[in-house]
C-alpha cells in the first residue's frame, strides 16, 4: 500500500477548477430553479480534498475532515452539504485560503 504524499493536487489545480466558473462571491449566490450551478465544482473540490498531497496536508484540517466525511457518506455531513449555502461557504473559504497562500508564496 503506497501512502506517499504526492504533488497533486496543488493550489493551481484547485484554482483552475474555480476559474472554469464566473468570478463570483459564493456567499452571495442563490440557487435557482435549475439547481445549484456550483454543485459540480463542489463535488470536484471535495474529491481533490481527499487526495494525499502536501498542499492538502498544509491546509486547515477542517477542509480535509469535511471532505473525508463527505466521501464516506456520513449522513450528518451529507445533510449539511445538501444546503447550497453551506457548499458555497466551503467553496468561498477554500478559495480565499488558496489565494492567500498564492499571494504569500509570491511575496
Above 50 in pLDDT, residue 93?
A: yes
Residue 50 pLDDT: 96
Above 50 in pLDDT, residue 1?
A: no
Q: Are 18 and 95 in contact (CB under 8 A)?
A: yes
Residue 59 pLDDT: 94
Q: What is the pLDDT of residues 28-85, one digit of tens each?
A: 566 556 678 889 999 999 999 999 999 999 999 999 999 999 999 999 999 999 999 9
Determine the Cα–Cα distance for residues 83 and 60; give it in Å rounded to an integer: 22
Residue 65 pLDDT: 98
The values of phi and psi at residue 53, to 5°, are -145, 160
Amino acid at each position: 500500500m503506497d501512502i506517499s504524499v504526492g504533488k497533486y493536487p496543488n493550489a493551481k489545480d484547485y484554482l483552475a477548477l474555480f476559474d472554469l466558473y464566473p468570478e463570483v462571491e459564493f456567499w452571495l449566490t442563490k440557487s435557482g430553479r435549475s439547481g445549484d450551478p456550483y454543485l459540480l465544482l463542489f463535488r470536484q473540490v471535495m474529491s481533490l480534498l481527499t487526495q494525499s498531497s502536501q498542499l492538502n496536508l498544509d491546509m486547515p484540517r477542517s477542509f480535509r475532515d469535511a471532505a473525508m466525511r463527505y466521501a464516506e457518506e456520513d449522513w450528518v455531513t451529507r445533510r449539511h452539504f445538501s444546503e447550497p449555502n453551506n457548499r458555497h461557504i466551503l467553496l468561498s473559504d477554500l478559495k480565499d485560503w488558496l489565494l492567500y497562500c498564492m499571494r504569500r508564496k509570491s511575496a
